[in-house]
Amino acid sequence: MSQLNSDEKRSISLKNVFSDAESRLSGSSNTQENHLPGLLINITGDGKGKSTSAFGMVIRTLGWGGKAAVLQFVKSSLFETGELNFFTKIFPGRISFEPFGPGRQASREVQEECASKAFQRTKELLQQSELNLLVLDELNIALWKKLLPFQEVCNALLERSPQLNVCITGRYAQKELLDICDLVSDIHSLRHPYDRGIPARKGIDF
């Protein structure tokens, strides 16, 4: 009988952890919690940590055996990030991670087209009852740039599946959107390396 290598042992260990987490999530002790209304969360401001905070919620959701989805309205699939690598490689089948951003040099027309595709996908996920958390990364920016119909977006968020938690990130959150949110964090920047000409760093910023 052949011995398992380290990768195979790690894979089996992770499967056991996920199986146990699924049992806890669906167990009787969490029945009441599973029927609580979902929260609408907005993390905005000019400081670092908005998307990072949302990804922390994703980890917690996955850690309890839940399902999560991340839609990115600004970041492009052409730009490799640590979070994209981590979630898609470590949690295949447990999370949908979809960047829709067109890149910084895209025309206004292309930006609107990509934002529209992201919003169509958003509306689909907002109605998925088996989903526990949906992160709409930098939706605030797409709305601030008027790439999407503001009121239609608000209506879709309010009409989401009852138990679905939604976390919106990005600068420039509009007051009308914040007014309908259950939790709002405004992250302020006191100091940032970029101000001293230090570029974004792998593992810290992406």
Domains of the chain: 36-196 (3.40.50.300)
pTM: 0.84
Residues of the chain by 3-state class (helix, strand, coil), percent to 5: 45, 15, 40
- pLDDT tier at 20, thresholds 50, 70, 90: low
Residue 55 amino acid letter: F
Per-residue pLDDT, 196: 87
* Mean pLDDT confidence for 114-141: 98
Per-residue pLDDT, 5: 60
* Nearest CA-CA partner of 102 in 88, 90, 113: 113
Residues 57 and 133 sit within 8 Å (Cβ to Cβ): yes
* Mean pLDDT confidence for 41-56: 97
Q: What are phi and psi of 15, to 5 degrees?
A: -60, -40
Q: What is d(CA 30, CA 28) in angstroms, rounded to the nearest whole number?
A: 5
Residues 172 and 141 sit within 8 Å (Cβ to Cβ): yes
- pLDDT tier at 204, thresholds 50, 70, 90: confident
* Mean pLDDT confidence for 82-99: 92
